[in-house]
Each structure stands twice: as C-alpha cells, then as structure tokens.
Amino acid sequence: MSVALVGVALLAGCVGDKEGVPTPTTTPSPAAAPVQLQLSSPEFVNGARIPVRFTCDGNDINPALRIENVPAGTKSLALVLEDPDAPRGTWVHWIVYNIPVTLWIDEDTVPGTQGTNDYGVQQYRGPCPPSGTPHRYVFKLYALDTELDLGASVNKAALELAMQGHILDTAELSGSYSRLSGAARTTATRTLDQSA
C-alpha cells in the first residue's frame, strides 16, 4: 500500500515538474523601420552655412539637390524654400511643383512649374537676410500621389491646399546664411566673376 502511494507521489511530482517547465515562445522580429524620403545637397550639409553663390550676394542660383527613397506611387514632387526667421514671419523664396520623379535636381535649373514666391516672381530667390543674425533656410520636399493642376500665380498657401490628401512623404534640408560685410561682399563677387 505504501509502495503504491510512493509511486503515485512520484508520478505526481513528475507531472508537476513537466508543467513547471516554461514553454519557449516565439519572439516576433522587430519590424524594419520605414524608409523615409530624404533630401540633401552636395553643396552643404544639413544645418551648415549655404555657399555664397546660391544667395543674393552671389549668383543667386539654386543649389544641386539629391533625393533619396522616393515612395512607391509618387507621381510628382513639389519643393518650397523658405526663411522661417524673416522679420515679418516666414518668407517664401522658391516654389516648384509638378517636378517629375527624380533623384537629382541640378543647380541653376527649373525642375518643374514655378509658383509665385513672396517677392512676387516665379523664380528662385536665394537667401538674402537683413544684416545681423544668420537666418535659417529650409528646403521642403513633398512626394505626391498626383500631378497638380495649378497656375503660375499659385503661392505657398494655394500649393499647400492643393496638396492636401496627396502627400505620401516629406523631407527637409536646412542651411543658414548671414549677409557679408561690404568688403567681403565685393571680394566674393570678384571671385565669382573670375570663376564664371
């Protein structure tokens, strides 16, 4: 009788041990981070000073821009250059939309249809802050799932309205600029003239 009880106890102990063993669980592998649209320039790194030739103290031409990770389904790109540090509030220097999907925008080019900037013209106007503290200049790139049916008189507000519901991704590139002193400006202009 006691032998039978010992056997039952041992059997119960074995079952208990088996139940106490943790079962291995499958840990899901971490999801890959989504690839985001990127905008950069071979002319300056993000946050650095914008070279003189792309400003009103130089040739006043747009810098070359590199575009990476354009999302699938993109039908066109739009680009806005603005100065968030302008005395009267954000000042728009350049608007371009219906840019064909590309990975590169050459310097001194018009890659799409230009809208009207805050100077009242349809063209690039480079950094040109008042004397004093450097201003930030932000290139904002939009990947859109459509082409936009807009006229050349479109301003930033109208562009933003037209893009609503069509933005697949955005990217930014920032630079800074402060005006050169009179002597430095003359030297820079001569250097640019000699290299032209």
Gap between the Cα atoms of 17 and 13, Å rounded = 6
The 8 Å CB, 24+ separation contacts for 14-21 are: none
* 184 — pLDDT class (breaks 50, 70, 90): low
pTM over 0.95: no
Q: Map out the domains of the chain with their CATH numbers.
A: 38-195 (3.90.280.10)
Task: Tell me which residue of 114, 101, 103, 105 sits closest to 159, measured CA to CA.
Answer: 114
Gap between the Cα atoms of 8 and 30, Å rounded = 46
Assigned token pair, 59: 């040739």
Per residue in 120-161, pLDDT tens?
999 999 999 998 899 999 999 999 999 999 977 899 999 999
Gap between the Cα atoms of 144 and 37, Å rounded = 12
Structure confidence at residue 180 (pLDDT): 74
Q: For residue 76, is pLDDT > 90? A: yes
Q: For residue 70, is pLDDT > 90? A: yes
Residue 177 and residue 69 in contact, taking contact as beta carbons nearer than 8 Å: no
Residue 62 and residue 44 in contact, taking contact as beta carbons nearer than 8 Å: no
Q: Give Cα separations from 182 to 59, 188, 189 (angstroms).
A: 16, 10, 11
CA 12 from chain center: how many Å?
Answer: 65
Least-confidence region, from 12-16, 28-32, 55-59: 12-16
Q: For residue 10, is pLDDT > 80? A: no
Per residue in 78-121, pLDDT tens?
999 999 999 999 999 999 999 999 999 999 999 999 999 999 99
- 41 versus 23: the higher-pLDDT residue is 41
